[in-house]
Structure 1
Amino acid sequence: MVKVELLKELDNGIRFYSMENESLKIVVVNMGCRIMEIHTPDASGNKSDVILGLKNIEDYADDPAYFGAIIGRVANRIGDARFTLNGKTYELYANNGKNHLHGGKEGFDKKIFDVTPLENGLRFHYFSKDGEEGYPGNLNLYVTYTLNENAFSIHYEADTDADTVVNFTNHLYFNLSNTLDKVNDHYLQINSDYIGCVDDTCLATGELLPVKDTPFDFNKRKRIGQDLEADHIQLKNAFGYDHSFVLNGTENQLTLEEPVSGRRLIISTTAPVVQVYTGNFLKDGCIGKAGRVYENREGVALETQLMPNAINTEENPSTILRKGDKFESNTKYVFEIM
């Protein structure tokens, strides 16, 4: 049984909800569909929060790390803040050097979504008008959060009245420890044979690199920190891991473990890639829930999505959503004890 509860509503339409069953408690807010807390037990049965976030809701208005938020219209970077679709070039807001990042100046992470409570979760809706942040087409995005025993799922649906570009994700940062030590000693396994390369601005170039015999091979479980400082141009370009892993299979493609707490997270997704980001820039002033400034590597983001910058690098871009078509994607997070 899932208990869905409205915790608080502010005058500006911001609403806080909790979803709770015997295994999990999740606190969300409809500003950006942000997941603010995920409480799950450790090996001793003690529950604690396993994601990073900010102390106050006001802090999220200027959140450089996108903690727990839905990202749109397009996650990650679009090169030179422009793309061409159907012969027309669209200019976007350059908010990451010369590139467009995570939806622009005011992406979906800052939008107020409508909310519909469900028996086992919450369904969110946002209507993005034609021209918003430079993107064509009126877009409807529906995001559904559900709980089922020890599993939390995110389902994305979108439609448009004109051809457009989309790439949705959730920017959760996980830290499964009880002490919020850096994630270097978390163990990660990824069913992937290739990563997408990035240039020195962290922009996806469209080139794929085989992971075999590189620091990017996580096909066998290993510590995140094992090869994090290795002498590899891709690690230097991104100041750590900030790369898309092309996923094999359709279930249990990722496993994250923290041996001291005994927690294990297993991720299954219909998305073709996961962006693994080791919090390489967290130290730039993010004051966390505990009231202290986060340091680099204190969380790892595992962002299931389409290939970044696909509109500029793929012959038939996977990120194009055509008029009359529907975009759908699902990601499931299962929390277990090792």
Structure 2
Amino acid sequence: MSPRCEPFGSLPDGRDVERYVLQAGAVEVAVLTYGAVLQSVRTPDARGSGADIALGYDDLDGYLRDTTYVGAVVGRFGNRIAGGRFLLDGVEHVLPRNHGTSCLHGGPAGFHTRLWSAREVPGGVELTLTSPDGDMGFPGTLTATVTYVLGDDGLTLTYGAVTDRPTVVNLTNHAYWNLAGGGTVEDHVVELPAARFVAVDDRLIPTGIEPVEGTPMDFRSPRRIGDRLRDGTEQLQHARGYDHAWLPDGRGPRSVARVGDPPSGRVLEVVSDQPGVQFYSGNFLDGSVLGRGGRAYRQGDGLCLETQHLRDSPNRPEFPSTVLRPGEQYATTTTFRFGTSDGAR
């Protein structure tokens, strides 16, 4: 089906924001041109009852006030760059430090705050943004695209970018998921097929890649999120819970995460070609903003599974490179597959 386009308010400067609604069977997805936000994902449970399983806001004002990147595409560099600076070809680039001493998700005026242009494509919508040279301190004029397509296989996000100068790029979507449609996600069951994760210090900056064996970071078999959330290990203390990158086994498009909500029977599988998946258990949601239906989003009300390169990669030559040069094409794909399992209560 062709997407349905409808107005979603206006920015303070008068520019109009649009909402594109995609439909495939019993699944309905809504995407905004502001921040390339994934605004809504409605799916049925095992009994056929629908609910919105993505956190969001009812109106544009909610997104303009948001400080937690709900549903947004973040860039030019998702996650943290330590010290708000990096060297590229011997030149130091200085970025705004908007999270302690780090540049987080591209800076305070990153891609999540921009109005993207849109065009319909079969089964979805393609959003495009041009980021000028020096934008938030990043070099090169970058043209980025993200395409949302909803089909029988799920919701596929395809990211692309080109640049006219060497730069760094790491795009991802910051959706918060709650497969129950409300309440805590601590009872969700998570599986991460990864033998290694990225350990962090108290600033959430990488200290190295470590094995998950024998730690609360081991989700190679399905585990309830809350089972070890309060184990008091150093890693869980640093992040107030889970906010780490796992390195999924294998390469290329593969299943990198699976989440289930036993009472509803809803299941979410994430398939991606990215080297890492950031599992975040919503530790910093503090109830300060009201989400959809006037509900306060508090700690543990949603979880994120951000497929991406590893945090602080521009300063870590041992990590997979995030450098993009003129003539190269940044391209990556992630699919969210929605389903149900037996045994729902």
- The alignment's TM-score, normalised by the length of structure 2, stands at 0.94
Superposed counterparts of 1:302-321, under 5 Å: 302-315=305-318, 318-321=321-324
User: Take 2:186 and 2:249, find their aligned partners in 1: how far apart are those partners?
Assistant: 24
1:256 counterpart = 2:259: yes
Residue of 18, 22, 29 corresponding to 1:19: 22
Residue of 92, 100, 104 corresponding to 2:103: 100
What amino acid is the match of 1:111?
Answer: R
Superposed counterparts of 1:23-172, under 5 Å: 23-149=26-152, 151-172=154-175
Q: 3-state DSSP class of the match of 1:237?
A: helix
1:54·1:286 contact (CA, 8 Å) conserved in 2? no
User: Take 2:53 and 2:67, find their aligned partners in 1: how far apart are those partners?
Assistant: 20
What amino acid is the match of 2:184?
Answer: K
Q: 1:332 to 1:118 in 2, by over 3 A?
A: same
What amino acid is the match of 2:137?
Answer: G
Query: For structure 1, which segment, 4-13 or 323-332, has the greater mean C-alpha deviation from structure 2 after superposition?
Result: 4-13
Aligned counterpart, 2:298 = 295
- Cα root mean square deviation, aligned: 1.3
Aligned counterpart, 2:330 = 327
Aligned counterpart, 1:196 = 198
Aligned counterpart, 1:213 = 214
Q: Deviations over 1:66-103 (max 9, x none)?
A: 00000000011110111111111111001001111011
Give the superposition deviation at 1:23: 2.7
Q: 1:50 to 1:150 in 2, by over 3 A?
A: farther
1:168·1:305 contact (CA, 8 Å) conserved in 2? yes
User: Take 1:336 and 1:3, find their aligned partners in 2: how far apart are those partners?
Assistant: 22
Aligned counterpart, 1:177 = 180
Give the superposition deviation at 1:319: 1.1
- Which consecutive aligned stretches of 4+ in structure 1 deviate over 6 angstroms post-superposition? none
User: Take 1:310 and 1:302, find their aligned partners in 2: how far apart are those partners?
Assistant: 18
Aligned counterpart, 2:278 = 275
User: Take 1:323 and 1:197, find their aligned partners in 2: how far apart are those partners?
Assistant: 33
User: Take 1:172 and 1:261, find their aligned partners in 2: how far apart are those partners?
Assistant: 20
Q: 3-state DSSP class of the match of 1:59?
A: helix
1:307·1:318 contact (CA, 8 Å) conserved in 2? no
Aligned pair count reads: 335
What amino acid is the match of 1:227?
Answer: R
- The alignment's TM-score, normalised by the length of structure 1, stands at 0.96
What amino acid is the match of 1:226?
Answer: D
Report percent identity of matched pairs. 35
User: Take 1:76 and 1:109, find their aligned partners in 2: how far apart are those partners?
Assistant: 13
Query: For structure 1, which segment, 270-279 or 20-29, has the greater mean C-alpha deviation from structure 2 after superposition?
Result: 20-29
1:55·1:287 contact (CA, 8 Å) conserved in 2? no
